Amino acid sequence: MAVSLRGRAYQIMAGAAMNRVIPAGLLAALLLAGCGGQSAAPTQPPLAGARIGGPFTLINQDGRPTSERDFAGRYRIMYFGYTFCPDVCPTDVQTIGAGLKALEQRDAAKAAKAVPIFVSIDPERDTPVVVKEFVANFHPRMVGLTGPLAAITQVAKKYGVYFAKQKPGASGSYLMDHSRQAYLMSPDGQPMALLPTEAGPEKVADELERWIT
């Protein structure tokens, strides 16, 4: 069942209660977008003006330095996760990829303007080779990014994404705690909307179709 923007705002707040990194502008934008009940479709993206995003330099799945400038002129779907995630990350990334494919069926020209980007928050294990194998499973144009932990931490903070490494088990394996949101960013790198990955590919396609021009 689809979740309202107001409901999703509280989900994000609850999921990030320990981290204190979700920007106030993001939460305010989500809450304001949820006001008014069944009002007419907004003329501006719900996250317009929120302080989300910014410059970064990471390493892509082919081992090349990649910055936000490499995506200038294209809409960006930004998702942060890790390849060893047992459930949430592959489910969300699958939904993002399937949502973009659904839009390709509706409007190929519009879909071609968007690039899905997966940013690893687990660089200890997510080397470019590992990330490349992961993103190839979900969409042929999906870009995978990794890099030094310090650089990833800076990027995650700019996007209001919390993550933390859990204590390793006896085998040395571990999980990562992280917040869960997929952003649609404009061609000039400004935040536009949260994609409803919990609602399935068609709803993601609806949101992409609504804001990509």
List own/partner pairs for 192-195 with CB under 8 A and 24 or more apart: 192/45, 192/46, 192/47, 192/48, 192/75, 193/45, 193/46, 193/47, 194/5, 194/8, 194/30, 194/46, 194/47, 195/77, 195/96, 195/99
Distance set, CA 12 to CA 40, 65, 131 (Å): 25, 31, 26
Is 178 assigned to a binding site?
yes
Distance from C-alpha of 65 to C-alpha of 198, rounded to nearest angstrom = 32
Closest-CA residue to 192 (of 37, 43, 91, 58) = 43
Is 35 assigned to a binding site?
no
| Feature table: binding site | 85, 89, 178
| Feature table: binding site for Cu cation | 85, 89, 178
